[in-house]
Structure formats: C-alpha cells, structure tokens
Structure 1
Amino acid sequence: MFTKNVGSVDRILRIVIGALLVLGALMGYGVWMWIGVIPLVTGFMSSCPLYSIFGMSTCPLNKN
C-alpha cells in the first residue's frame, strides 16, 4: 500500500522523537508538541509522504 522509503536509523529516530513530543504534550508542555504524531506515524509506517514527493529514500532496499 505504502512505499517503504524510511530506513532503520531514520525510523528509530522518528519513533523516539515523536513519542517524546507526544509525551510532552500529554504532560502539558504545550499544544504544539502534538506535532510529534507525524514522525511517530511515519516511523511506524516506514513511509514518509514528503520523501515520496521529493523522490528521497533512506531505505537501503529502494536505492539503485
């Protein structure tokens, strides 16, 4: 369904940073921290729509 274009290191960073931002939002540090949902979701899906638009990939399987 989605093209995998997020590599393992990129994926781990997205999940960790996204989770920390969402945790911060839940703890009341600011509504803007809900932006962490985006890297969290793209990390779990291993697919980034912006990478697709710009033709980028950090996934070694898709590099030619």
Structure 2
Amino acid sequence: MTTNVGTIDRVLRAALGIVLLYLAFFSGLPTFTEPLFKYGAAIVGIVMLATSTLKLCPLYSIFGIKTCKDC
C-alpha cells in the first residue's frame, strides 16, 4: 500500500484525534458522558491518529485521492 496522506492532512488528523480523545475521556462535558458519544469520539480519535501515523487513509485509496506531493 502506498501512502496517500500529505503533511498538512496528517497534522490536522493528529490534532483532531487528540482533541476527540481529550473530549471523550477528560473534558467532563455532559454530551460526552453518554456512552455513544464518549466511545464514538474515542474510536474516531484513534482512527484519526492511526491514519496520521501510517500516512494511509483507506477511504482515500478507494476514491483515488492523494494529498501528498511525493507519492
């Protein structure tokens, strides 16, 4: 599998992943006390961090999108 996620995309995904994990586990907001929102945000946050780390987005592969200049 080739990489298809560029630098700016990776930084935004990592930031979103960290924010979602923070909201899910440490924010204390009433919305995130519900299990659906809490664990949903955690799962999406983990996926965002994984795609950022691996430089690979499965949806980008399906649709043929590449945000990196070198690949």
TM-score band, normalised by the shorter chain? Answer: 0.7 to 0.9
Runs of 4+ that moved beyond 3 A? none
The one-letter code matched in structure 1 to 2:8 is: V
**Structure 1: unaligned runs, 5 residues or longer:** none
User: What SS is found at the alignment partner of 1:53?
Assistant: helix
TM-score (norm. length: structure 1): 0.84
- Secondary structure of 2:2's counterpart equals coil
Aligned residues: 61
The TM-score with structure 2 as length reference comes to 0.77
Q: What are structure 2's unaligned runs of at least 5 residues?
A: none
Structure-2 separation of matches of 1:42 and 1:21: 14
Larger Rg: 2
When the two chains are superposed, the root-mean-square deviation of aligned CA atoms in Å is 1.3
Q: Percent identity?
A: 41
